Chains A and B, each alone.
Chain A
Amino acid sequence: MRVRLATLRYFLVEGWKSAKRNVSLVSLGTMAVSIFVLGVFGLTLMNLNNVNNQLRSGIEIRVYVEDGIEDQNLKALRQQIENTDGVDKVIHISKDEGLDRLAKQLGEKAGLIDILGENPLPDAFDVKVLNADLTSDIASKISDLPYVAGVNFGQEFTEKLLKTTRFVTIGAVGLAVILFGAVTFVVGNTIRLSLAYRAKEIEIMKLVGATDWFITWPFLIEGMIVGFMGSFVSGVCLYIGYRICIGRLGPVVPFIPIISEAGPVIKLCTGLVILGVLMGVFAGGLCTKKYLEI
């Protein structure tokens, strides 16, 4: 659609005037709180994902080889593991190295090893994977290879974390739907007020042959402005609130990798503002369409 400059100015001015006249603190507040809550969920999700990624990037598959394997078979097995799709690196841990590591882990109690006499540990491989999501697939493939006695990776913990993340994601999506309804309703109230206020003007516009699109535009702009005002407030509050939180929380739980860089958080807050603006436009369009239909 081609829009003249004068027309555009009219849309903007009318949208702004309407918004200023009819927006209430209650609707802005409701909207800001809704978007803020959504943002809290978003941040939680981001951090869960972060923890997930960090933990899983450390996960390796430990492959235990059958005892008494001949050297050439060991080499062949290593080759096969390296050729498995998704495998990044394979490190051989010989029986002796394995024992050294065990001794280190046991620390003071390393003396226990002497009781064993002969080295009971099998040869093993540490396998790094390219994509943490495929860890369990790759592990099961490797376990099917000949001479493999067993594989081990942090499946239980990863699965728990994945479940939690999924749970929060579903919650966030459900919440987003509910809040979308709430925000549409709240912004819609402002728009309906403006429509009523400008009823006579709209009547005359229809009378002289303005298109529905032309009549609708100022209300889209108004929705956009109201959406921006509400979500901008919550975006800023969320950002500042998060900064304060990580300042306080970080030292208390140093073992949890909380996202502390500004970048991703700013991205989320900006996303929320854009979401608010879109919701506002949606509400403006919907209410005006309904109004013009009757």
Chain B
Amino acid sequence: MLICFYEVSKVYPNGATGLHSVSTSIRNGEFVFLVGPSGAGKTTFLKLLTREITPTRGQVLLNGRNITRLRPNEIPYLRRSVRMIFQDYKLLPNKTVYDNVAFALMVIERPDKQIGPLVNKALDLVGLGNKVHAYPGELSGGEQQRVSIARAIVGAPLVLLADEPTGNLDMETSWDIMELLLRINKGGTTVIMSTHNIAIVDGLKQRVIELDSGRVVRDDEEGVYEGEAGYTSVLSG
């Protein structure tokens, strides 16, 4: 197993429940949708994997290693293999497409010689080979998300986490992004994506983990967005 959650609970300092006793596991190379209403705990689930937050209880294992126990100076190395992309892209507006991607390698002190080829390869993969000198402000939302994906995969991470990556995009562009994420997944990278997009989840028939109020209420191989009628409402009601 690549990722294991053992009875993970997260209570935020203000008392809000992020996750409640979640146990699940994800194999290397899987593609997983995280679904559920707003506030269900999807982002909390993903943030636990990058050690942006620590659980209140339980263990999160990555490759058998309990990442809740990492020392602060080990966290950067975790984040080199567990990369996250966001709804709002988080690009640096004053850097070109190329520099935004290269930045991710430069700040982890990859040798200069490696940076150029790796950045070009990643930008080609996301289909932006012809826009390397553009600035984020000159790009469409879909293109900006591609840059952020290129930045996430340029260091060949084990896991790509995507928190509502198509949340700001129209349907057609969202499908392009999905096509790209699936391609990256086919290349061997485990992808975990939270989303509200019913058509995409229903159309792709991947594993679906549904959260509600911090609990896993459904976990289906080749699942759809909505579980069987009544199932969720019984549990949450």
Do A and B truly interact? yes
* Partner-B contacts on A (CB < 8 A): 4, 6-7, 10, 200-201, 203-212, 214-215
| B139 contacts the other chain (CB 8 A) | no
Complex CA–CA separation, A206 to B103 (angstroms): 12
The 3 closest A-B pairs by CB, nearest first: A209-B79, A209-B80, A210-B107
Question: Which residues of B lie under 8 Å from residue A209 when comparing CB positions?
Answer: 76-80, 107-108, 155
> Is the beta-carbon distance between B90 and A204 smaller than 8 angstroms?
yes
Complex CA–CA separation, A260 to B47 (angstroms): 66
Complex CA–CA separation, A126 to B23 (angstroms): 94
**Residue among B76, B77, B79, B106 making CB contact with A10, cutoff 8 Å:** B106
Minimum CB distance partner of B91 in chain A: A204
Minimum CB distance partner of B100 in chain A: A204
Question: Which residues of A lie under 8 Å from residue B92 when comparing CB positions?
Answer: 200-201, 204
The winner among A4, A200, A208, A210 for most chain B CB atoms within 10 A is A208
Question: Which residues of B lie under 8 Å from residue A201 when comparing CB positions?
Answer: 92
Complex CA–CA separation, A7 to B79 (angstroms): 20
Shortest CB-to-CB span from B101 to chain A, Å, is 10
| B221 contacts the other chain (CB 8 A) | no
Q: Which chain B residues (48-91) contact chain A, with CB distance < 8 Å?
A: 50, 72-73, 76-80, 83-84, 90
* Partner-A contacts on B (CB < 8 A): 50, 72-73, 76-80, 83-84, 90, 92, 103-104, 106-109, 111-112, 151, 155
> Is the beta-carbon distance between B80 and A208 smaller than 8 angstroms?
yes
Question: Which residues of B lie under 8 Å from residue A200 when comparing CB positions?
Answer: 90, 92
Shortest CB-to-CB span from A233 to chain B, Å, is 31
Shortest CB-to-CB span from B149 to chain A, Å, is 13
> Is the beta-carbon distance between A208 and B109 smaller than 8 angstroms?
no
Question: Which residues of A lie under 8 Å from residue B107 when comparing CB positions?
Answer: 205, 208-210, 214-215
**Residue among A7, A203, A207, A215 making CB contact with B109, cutoff 8 Å:** A7
**Residue among B78, B108, B112 making CB contact with A210, cutoff 8 Å:** B108
- The answer to whether A207 and B90 touch (CB under 8 A), given A6-B106, A10-B106, A212-B73, is yes
In addition to A200-B90, A208-B83, 20 A-B residue pairs with Cβ atoms within 8 Å of each other are: A6-B106, A7-B106, A7-B109, A200-B92, A206-B79, A207-B50, A207-B84, A208-B79, A208-B80, A208-B103, A208-B104, A208-B107, A209-B78, A209-B107, A209-B155, A210-B76, A211-B73, A212-B72, A212-B73, A214-B107
Minimum CB distance partner of B84 in chain A: A207
Question: Which residues of B lie under 8 Å from residue A203 when comparing CB positions?
Answer: 90
> Is the beta-carbon distance between A4 and B108 smaller than 8 angstroms?
no
Minimum CB distance partner of B74 in chain A: A211
> Is the beta-carbon distance between B77 and A208 smaller than 8 angstroms?
no
Question: Which residues of B lie under 8 Å from residue A208 when comparing CB positions?
Answer: 79-80, 83, 103-104, 107-108, 151, 155
- The answer to whether A211 and B103 touch (CB under 8 A), given A4-B111, A6-B112, A7-B109, is no
Complex CA–CA separation, A210 to B109 (angstroms): 8
> Is the beta-carbon distance between B112 and A211 smaller than 8 angstroms?
no
Complex CA–CA separation, A200 to B111 (angstroms): 24
Question: Which residues of B lie under 8 Å from residue A207 when comparing CB positions?
Answer: 50, 79, 84, 90
25 pairs, A vs B, C-beta closer than 8 Å: A4-B109, A6-B106, A7-B109, A10-B106, A200-B92, A201-B92, A203-B90, A204-B90, A204-B103, A206-B79, A208-B79, A208-B80, A208-B155, A209-B76, A209-B77, A209-B78, A209-B79, A209-B80, A209-B108, A210-B76, A210-B107, A211-B73, A212-B76, A214-B109, A215-B107
Shortest CB-to-CB span from B106 to chain A, Å, is 7
